[in-house]
Amino acid sequence: MGSIRLKSVEKWFGDAQVIKGIDLDIQDGELIIFVGPSGCGKSTLLRMIAGLEETSRGQIHLDGDEMTHMVPSERELAMVFQSYALYPHLSVRENMGFALMTAGAPKSEIDEKVGNAADILKLDDYMDRRPKDLSGGQRQRVAIGRAIVRKPKGFLFDEPLSNLDASLRVDMRFEIARLHKMLETTMVYVTHDQVEAMTLADRIVVLKDGLIMQVGTPRELYEKPDNVFVAQFIGSPKMNLMPCTTDGGFTTAPSKPAGAVQLGIRPEHIGISDAGGGHCDGVVQVSEYLGADFFHYVDCGPLGLLTVRSSGAMPDIEGQAVGLSFEKENLHFFGTDDLAL
């Protein structure tokens, strides 16, 4: 079991409040990801769950038992840091078994648990190497293995892939997803990379300024954002926003609900036609060719610069005047308070 509950959790550093009354239920066996811009409080919140930061107000529960004021070693949680934090003078085998050794576990138990973790993480061929002889991805797997041998109720990951290059990040995302399915253990994961969040999470917690903006599955956040912040933070390229008017460039105005002041649409939900043939016209300022896709940046005058995603098989239209058509079933409307209508 490894369910975690946060009840009205706050964190203050002097007069500065960085976590502002968060309530959250993390289900047993769930991989939940905290995501948001720098300074939003995601790493602080993770460290509060780990016990590395004191909770100023509120309560933190693990499987129904309060652990708000417990020290980290009493929480039955294992943390994997951004820096691998391996002992350079110890072998992979010794690094992975270090916590068990210091706890006085018998050698037979250490060997069994380290061997099982090495098998899961495909580290069998590296057990006698030192950290300096490993790649970044291998070091990160050793750090994860050190956490696995403790058999915790939950794993806490603090931006574990940020030190890796792009190719290794993709590989390690796969490894973490595979590990989660294999262990069926609760994982709380912090990242600033929304692509990591979208590809790994069962649910995502989007944070801003110490507050939760929305909690949901990747699909829910992408297709039904609660507010402008989530709409533009989740998705790459981000959602287009424009004034919700019936003039200012529309030739055929999509219907809008009462109170709507902004209209949002994802780049892939905009069609390209000849000028005069869509809802608005514009000029393609830049086209970026990515192989399977084109990203077109279209200056639509009063509506602003809109991003349009099209097939990479489409001819390059940079510099051309075009018409843009919006898929009405994929329009999003937001009110004066930036909330979805």
Q: For domain 4-232, give the CATH number.
A: 3.40.50.300
How many Å apart are CA 7 and CA 133, to the nearest integer? 44
Neighbours of 308 (CB within 10 A): 25
- Does the 238-334 domain belong in CATH 2.60.120.10? no
Q: What is the pTM of this model?
A: 0.91
| Residue 67, CA distances (Å) to 32, 54, 147, 155, 227 in order | 19, 11, 20, 16, 33
Q: Residue 83's pLDDT band (boundaries 50, 70, 90)?
A: confident
Is the bond into 131 cis (omega within 30 degrees of 0)?
Answer: no
Residues 20-56: tens digit of each pLDDT? 999 999 999 999 999 999 999 999 999 999 999 999 9
Structural domain spans, the chain: 4-232, 238-334
Interior angle at CA 113, CA 127 and CA 183, nearest 5: 105
Residue 249 is predicted with a pLDDT of 44
Give the pLDDT of residue 245. 66
In the DSSP assignment, the letter for residue 153 is S
Q: Mind listing the pLDDT tens digit for each residue in 144-171?
A: 999 999 889 999 999 988 888 888 888 8
